[in-house]
Amino acid sequence: MAIRWRHSAGRLAALAALALAGPAAAGIDPANPTCPDNPGWATFPQMRFTLDASRGTRALRAEGVIDDGAATRLAAALTSNAPVEEIWLSSPGGNAAIGNEAGRLIRKAMIPTRVPSGAACFSACNFLFMGGPIRSVDNGGLFIVHMFTHTANRALIDVEVSKGANATVGLIGEIEQSSAILATEDNDFLIRMGVSRKLLSDVMYQQKAVETEGEDRSTRRCLTTEELKRYNVVNL
């Protein structure tokens, strides 16, 4: 069933779900009512990898923005900190292609992934998380999805539109082509990782790509515990 957050009933249900979600739910994002206004993800400009053995598990913390070199540094961190028993994620996303590469690397290494309490995994971070053969989201952790987009660069769009109709049509064609390729890659990745493709059709692709005017301005969705299980995002 496609999920939209246009009506008051949907918003009330979202607020109720967040009320049960724990400490991370404090302060609702008015534009994205399924999510808190401060998701709690790490904001380091480059993803950093540090070993944390404080809970009796050799966990590699992967925190911050997924930059162009994140997959390379992840591979090095897994080697230098071996054995790594789990990977804990906290990220606002970043480079989607690198997130996909890092997720495949995690699956090859067969290391479980986790979103700890108080942390959030958004956008390209979803691919790292889904790379884990065993996946879990702690109470108070957030798994946040959205519609991947190639239209976020408003400056580029304005420039092309200013050139006239032909340039605008050309830009739209390029966006459509790259979006179709990305959608195909998303589907392939989810199939390989054992996650339901309905996560794309039911949730991700139902979101707006960019915020617009009107009642529904949401561009991200925080999955509930039930949804995490329904789409096999978590399997522990």
pLDDT at 7 exceeding the cut of 50: no
Q: What is the pLDDT of residue 185?
A: 78
At 147, the amino acid letter reads: M
pLDDT band with cut points at 50, 70 and 90 for residue 98: very high
- Residue 174 domain-assigned (yes or no): no
- Residue 123 domain-assigned (yes or no): yes
- Residue 158 domain-assigned (yes or no): no
Taking the C-alpha atoms of residue 125 and residue 216, their distance in angstroms, rounded to an integer, is 25
- Residue 218 domain-assigned (yes or no): yes
- Residue 87 domain-assigned (yes or no): yes
pLDDT at 193 exceeding the cut of 90: yes
- How many domains are contained in the chain? 1
Q: What is the pLDDT of residue 8?
A: 33
User: What is the average pLDDT across 13-23?
Assistant: 41
Q: How would you write 150-185 as a 3-class SS string?
A: CCCCHHHHHHHHHCCHHHHHHHHHHHHHHHHHHHHH
CATH number, domain with residue 136 = 3.90.226
Range of the domain at 106: 8-148+196-230
Q: What is the pLDDT of residue 15?
A: 39
How big is the chain, counted in residues? 236
**Residue for token pair 């960019």:** 210
User: What is the average pLDDT across 209-217?
Assistant: 65
Q: How much is the mean pLDDT over the chain?
A: 82
User: What is the average pLDDT across 95-104?
Assistant: 94
- Residue 99 domain-assigned (yes or no): yes
More confident site: 210 or 189: 189
- Residue 105 domain-assigned (yes or no): yes
- Residue 73 domain-assigned (yes or no): yes
